[in-house]
Structure 1
Amino acid sequence: MATRLADHFSTVLDTLRIEPTPVRLRGLAAGAPAVDTTAALLVWEPGRVVPQYAVPESDLLADLLPADPDAGPRYGPGPQPLGPDGVAVLTPATGFGVHSADGEPLTLRIGGSERIGAAFRPTDPDLAGYVIVDFAALDWLEEEEPVVSHPRDPFHRVDARRSGRRVRIELDGHVLAESDRPTLVTETGLPVRWYLPPADVDTTRLRPSDTVTACAYKGVASYLSVTLPGRSADDLAWTYPRPLRDAEALTDLVSFFTEHVDVTVDEVRTVRPVSPWS
C-alpha cells in the first residue's frame, strides 16, 4: 500500500527532530555579534511546525545565565490545525518560552549588557553542547542573506506557477477579482493560494491595512481589507511589494484568504480549506 508523504511527515511531528545546516550562521544584537558558527542545527521541538536554530555553546559570543522568570514569551495559541488534514501543530505564534522537549531555560546576554533574549539547553544527548536561541532575540544572517520570520526549513517548498486557468474570487456574491492569468502558489503543508494581477482585482473594494506579516520564504506582506455594502472584511487579502529574491514572481500580485472567500476555478467552485486562518 502506498504511503502519502504528508501523512508520513505528520507521524513524526510529536518527536524532537534535528537537521544539520551547512551555512555560516550569524546572529546580531543591535549590530553586535552574539552567534557565529558553521555548525548550526535546525531543531523542531515536538509539535513545532517551524525550526529554531541550535548553536554550539562554544560558538556563542554571549553569556548564558539562569533564566529570567519569563524564559521567553509564553503567549500564543496552543496546537492549531494545519494542512488539508488539519493536523494539530504549534505555529510560530506560540512563544519561544513554550517548550515541548526536556531542557533548561536560559538567558542570553552580551558582556555586561542587559538580557538580549532567551535560550534553551535541551537534555537530548544528540544535542549535547548545543543551545537553542530564540529567533526573535537576534538579527540573523545565513551567509550574507538576512533571514526573516523564522529559520528556513530545507524540507519546505514554495512554488509559483503561471496558470491559464480562469479564477474568480467572490464574497457574499460580490466579485472581488477575476483573472485568466493567475499565479498558482503551492507551499508545503498550506492551502493552495491564487495570486492575481492587480489589474484583474476590483481595487475599488480594497483599502490598505496597517497589518504586516513576515514569511521566511516570501518576505514581508502588506494586507488589504475588503469593503462591501453593509460590511467589511479586515485583512482579507495581501500582497508582497518587495518579496525576497526567491519569490520575485509574486511582486505586487494580490492573494485572498481562500478560507474566507468563494473561489471558482474554470467554473468549478472549490471547497474552502481548513487552516490556522479559518
Structure 2
Amino acid sequence: MRDVMGQLLQKLRYEPTVKRIRATLGGKTVVDTTRAMLVWEPRRVVPGYAVPIEDIRAEISVRTPAPLKDGPVGFMLSDLSKIPVFDPRIPFDVRSTQGEPVEVRVAGMDAAASGFRARDAGLADYVILAFGDFDSWLEEDVEIISHPHDPYGRIDIRGTSRHVQLMLDGHILADTTRARMLFETNLPARYYLPIEDVVVPLETSPTRSMCSYKGRATWYSAIIGDRRVDDIAWQYEHPLSDAADVQDYVAFLDERLDLVLDGEQQRRAVTPWS
C-alpha cells in the first residue's frame, strides 16, 4: 500500500466533496460553495480546495508569482516516497503541474489571495486557492485550520503500557509506562507522555504550530545538562476533538532523540522535522 500511495503522490488527483466550503478574506465571505473539489497536486501530501469560479465573490486576474528561493525543494519521507514531497510549509507557488497563477482580490480593498488554474480538463472552471492567504475557512459550520482535511488520512490514539524512554547523549529526558501512542497516516507513531514522567526541565518556546486534525500546539525547549535544546517538544492544551485523548500530554521530536521501547533502541525516523 505504501508503494501504491508513493506512486499516487506523483500524479494530479482530485475529487468532489459534498461539504459546504466557505472562506473569508478581508473580513468578507468570498467563497461559498457546495461544489468544491479536494485537489492533491503532484508531490503535495495534503489537499487544497479548488472552487468553481462562479462561487468566488471576488475579482480574479492573472498574476506573476513572486520569485522563489534557489535550492532543493521538498522533504524526504523515505517510508513513503523516493522523491522529496511538499508538506504545508512549501510555498503555494511551488508548482508541480501546468497551469496559470491568478490573484483573488476583494473589490475596493487591499485584501488579496493567490490562486492557480490547473491545465486539466476536469478542473477547467475551478481555481485552486492558497489556504493560508485567507482569513478563515469553514467546512459546514466548523472552522478548519492549517489545511483541508484529507478523507484518506486520519489519526488514532491508543494507550500503551510499553516502557518508553527518550534519551539524548546518554541523558534521559522522559521515562514512562503510561504513554499514549498517536498514529497518523503516513507519519511515524508519536508517543505522548504524562508531564509528570518528563524528567528534564521544559521551557515554553515562542514557536507555535497548527495541525488540521489536532489543533494549535505550544512548543518547548528542554534543558539537558548544561545545554538547551530548542523546540524539541510540544503539547496540545486545547486540542480538537480528534486529539482529545492527548490533551496536556507532551510529545518529543524523537527523530532527533534516541527512542527506547521496552529496552530496545529504535531506528530514528526520517521526516521533514529530522
Structures share a fold, TM > 0.5? Answer: yes
Is the CA contact 1:83–1:190 (under 8 Å) kept in the aligned structure 2?
no
TM-score by length of 1: 0.93
* Aligned residue identity for 1:80: F
* Aligned residue identity for 1:101: T
Corresponding position of 1:167:
164
Corresponding position of 1:125:
121
Corresponding position of 1:266:
262
SS at match of 2:95: coil
Corresponding position of 2:187:
190
Is the CA contact 1:163–1:182 (under 8 Å) kept in the aligned structure 2?
yes
How far did 1:67 drift? 0.9
Is the CA contact 1:141–1:147 (under 8 Å) kept in the aligned structure 2?
yes
Paired with 2:87 and 2:72, the residues of 1 have a C-alpha distance of: 8
Q: 2:244 pairs with 248, 251, 255, which one?
A: 248
Is the CA contact 2:76–2:271 (under 8 Å) kept in the aligned structure 1?
yes
Paired with 1:39 and 1:74, the residues of 2 have a C-alpha distance of: 32
How far did 1:239 drift? 0.6
User: Structure 2: where are the runs of 5+ without partners?
Assistant: none
TM-score by length of 2: 0.94
* Aligned residue identity for 1:256: F
Is the CA contact 2:26–2:111 (under 8 Å) kept in the aligned structure 1?
no
User: Structure 1: where are the runs of 5+ without partners?
Assistant: none
Paired with 1:134 and 1:6, the residues of 2 have a C-alpha distance of: 28
* Aligned residue identity for 2:171: H
**Residue deviations 1:93-140, cap 9 Å, x none?**
111111111111111011222241111111100111101111012110
User: 4+ residue stretches of structure 1 with deviation over 2 A?
Assistant: 73-77, 83-88
Q: 1:84 pairs with 63, 79, 84, which one?
A: 79
In the alignment, does 2:217 pair up with 1:224? Answer: no
**Residue deviations 1:163-182, cap 9 Å, x none?**
11111111111111111111
Corresponding position of 2:202:
206
How far did 1:30 drift? 3.4
* Aligned residue identity for 2:43: G
Corresponding position of 1:150:
147
Q: Give the aligned CA root-mean-square deviation in angstroms.
A: 1.6
SS at match of 1:79: coil
> What is the number of equivalent residue pairs in this alignment?
271
- Sequence identity percentage: 42
